[in-house]
Structure 1
Amino acid sequence: MKGHPAVSNTRTDLTGKVAVVTGSGRGLGLAYATALAKAGASVVVNDLDEAVAGQAATSITEAGGTAVAEAVAVGTTEAAERLVDRAVSEFGRLDIIVTNAGILRDKVLWKMSDDDFDAVITTHLKGTFTLARAAAVRMREQGEGGSLILVGSPAGQRGNFGQTNYAAAKAGIAAFVRTWAMELGRAGITVNAIVPVAATAMTETIPAFAPYIEANRGGEPLPDFLRKGEGFGTPEDCAALIPFLASEAARDVTGQCIGIGGDKLALWSHPQEVAVAYADGGWTPETIAATWHSSVGADPQSFGIPAPKIPGA
């Protein structure tokens, strides 16, 4: 019989667990919240827009899940505590957070204003920090472990033109993962980042992807060169990773940045030394210049997100 092998779902069953998913009114966030609810978790849906948050929660409950809406802009301690308090008051506990809320203010460095920078850093980086802190306090009090699932981006792993603020925030989130996995391990709290690639309002502006995304809306499947070659698919393709990371099946998975999109699942490397050289007594500018291109600088690291490989282009 062809198809996927039979796998028991008992270790990925989230019945009795409670999750908060920020920015889950639409797009990837809604896919994450829906996947958690399908796995049995009760979910606090969050969006800045009260109507959008309410509609998202209703869509989950109408499908047989359990969800409530909490409309608040992330980025402050007050908002974070409000989300945690809502989970506890509504469902009695907190086990999972997914820090998905985000905005874009794309500009090249010399045109980016303080407001452009601060708004993105506040939502992505400070929003992740404040909610993770509030959740960690609650989970440690409960004494039963938990899961912090932070949302990263290829831009944070590689850099991206015009995204000083966004790339910096997402790179900081990857650093959060490595730090908090150490700090929270003894409490049984896992910390991981998901690095999703999917057709969203953010990615549909990429000219190379736009026609395929539009065709997909009309019912055409995305081609293999996108789903496999680029690891690019729908929000629902990315959502499967969230219940897994929140489940007993991933109790030993922590401190990782994990990519998912289309048919592709990937583990991102962490920064590490890739070449070293030594000079007795230390280095001078002259000795570095004399040896750079034949020693540590012989194979410089690449940067930026690679351009999509479009067949026939």
Structure 2
Amino acid sequence: MDLTGKVAVVTGSGRGLGRAYAEALAAAGAAVVVNDIDAEAAAEVVKGITAAGGRAVEVVAPVGGSDVAAQLVRTAVGEFGRLDTMVTNAGILRDRVLWKMTDEDFDAVINVHLRGTFTCARAAAIQMRVQDTGGRLILISSPAGQRGNFGQTNYAAAKAGIVAMARTWAMELAKAQIAVNAVVPVAATEMTKTIPAFAGAIEQSERDGTPLPDWLRKDEGLGTVEDVASLIVFLASDAANGITGQAIGIGGDKLSLWSHPREKAFAYADGGWSADAIASTWDTGVGAEPETYGIPAPKV
């Protein structure tokens, strides 16, 4: 993929998946605005990109508010002349079960993930519409947002909302030729290391370079952050023209397309449904095959 001449912003790109996205976009030729709250981490990413012959600058600021979103877009345009791709990756975790989650836990995660995606995407869309040359909004979601996950009320809600925004914005921005897609990544990161079934294989791979086993890369669809970055490059490229409104999963050896919610089963009753009528038919009718919920346990 050749992204020469294109300019991208990647939020939360000082480490982990965000760093892999920024480095992959730069390696493909794009100029990149690196964003993180850790000044040292952001500077290290920029240094690595420029040392490899790429172009990058950092913006050290917390994603969430409109002012930072505007700053990111302003930096892209001021330093590199335009903005073609906005990757909304920044995020934090405040995991608690429902009865222990505080208002502060909930609000902090929603502010960075959901509001931060909104403000950054809005600022990018305004600039892309002015340029009148199209663009890409690549919104980072999670399996937790698609299926739910224990202890992640705030995170799952935000990530589900991000996919809903992608579908909505794909409609709203189609006339301006701005494609909007959600990415559902699974990779070996600091967060996935905390999952007992994954920890041993990930730690061994980091320690001595042992490849992740097939059951992780295929069955679980979990690999390196670099495995995920290739999808970001593809979606930022001209090869992805016409792809919009999708939730696309990637991890390890697995690439997937997530389905949109839809009516799975339905039934009709003349004059409407009473509570008794619903109860008498539920198990053999609409509710005969209930949906699963939660991220499936690892197959080990």
Aligned to 1:225: 215
Q: What is the alpha-carbon distance in structure 1 between the residues aligned to residue 58 and residue 184 of structure 2?
A: 25
Report 1:61-140 matches (<5 A): 61-140=50-129
Classify the secondary structure of the residue corresponding to 2:174: helix
From 30, 39, 42, the equivalent of 1:53 is: 42
Q: What is the alpha-carbon distance in structure 2 between the residues aligned to residue 130 and residue 177 of structure 1?
A: 13
Q: Cα distance, 1:294 vs. partner?
A: 1.0
From 119, 137, 151, the equivalent of 1:162 is: 151
Which aligned segments of 4 or more residues in structure 1 are displaced greater than 4 angstroms? none
Gaps of 5+ in 1: 1-11
> Aligned partner of 2:263: which letter?
E
Aligned to 1:36: 25
Measured against aligned partners, the alpha-carbon deviations of 1:57-78 in whole angstroms (never above 9, x if no partner) come to: 1111112211111100000000
From 274, 295, 300, the equivalent of 2:290 is: 300
Measured against aligned partners, the alpha-carbon deviations of 1:11-57 in whole angstroms (never above 9, x if no partner) come to: x3111000000000011000000110011100000001111111111
Q: What is the alpha-carbon distance in structure 2 between the residues aligned to residue 65 and residue 152 of structure 1?
A: 27
Classify the secondary structure of the residue corresponding to 1:294: coil
Number of aligned residue pairs: give it: 299
Q: What is the alpha-carbon distance in structure 1 between the residues aligned to residue 135 and residue 279 of structure 2?
A: 50
Q: What is the alpha-carbon distance in structure 2 between the residues aligned to residue 205 and residue 63 of structure 1?
A: 33
Aligned to 1:257: 247
- Give the TM-score, by structure 2 length: 0.99
Q: What is the alpha-carbon distance in structure 2 between the residues aligned to residue 94 and residue 226 of structure 1?
A: 36
Q: What is the alpha-carbon distance in structure 2 between the residues aligned to residue 212 and residue 22 of structure 1?
A: 29
Q: What is the alpha-carbon distance in structure 1 between the residues aligned to residue 75 and residue 164 of structure 2?
A: 28
Report 1:228-239 matches (<5 A): 228-239=218-229
Q: Cα distance, 1:184 vs. partner?
A: 0.3
Q: What is the alpha-carbon distance in structure 2 between the residues aligned to residue 150 and residue 294 of structure 1?
A: 39
Q: Is 1:18 paired with 2:7?
A: yes
Q: What is the alpha-carbon distance in structure 2 between the residues aligned to residue 62 and residue 309 of structure 1?
A: 42
Aligned to 1:146: 135
Report 1:187-202 matches (<5 A): 187-202=176-191
Q: What is the alpha-carbon distance in structure 1 between the residues aligned to residue 188 and residue 50 of structure 2?
A: 25
Q: What is the alpha-carbon distance in structure 1 between the residues aligned to residue 52 and residue 141 of structure 2?
A: 28
- Give the TM-score, by structure 1 length: 0.95
Q: Is 1:176 paired with 2:168?
A: no
Cα RMSD for the two superposed structures: 0.6
From 283, 294, 311, the equivalent of 2:273 is: 283
Q: Cα distance, 1:214 vs. partner?
A: 0.7
Q: What is the alpha-carbon distance in structure 2 between the residues aligned to residue 221 and residue 51 of structure 1?
A: 29
Measured against aligned partners, the alpha-carbon deviations of 1:129-164 in whole angstroms (never above 9, x if no partner) come to: 000000000000000000000000000000000000
Gaps of 5+ in 2: none
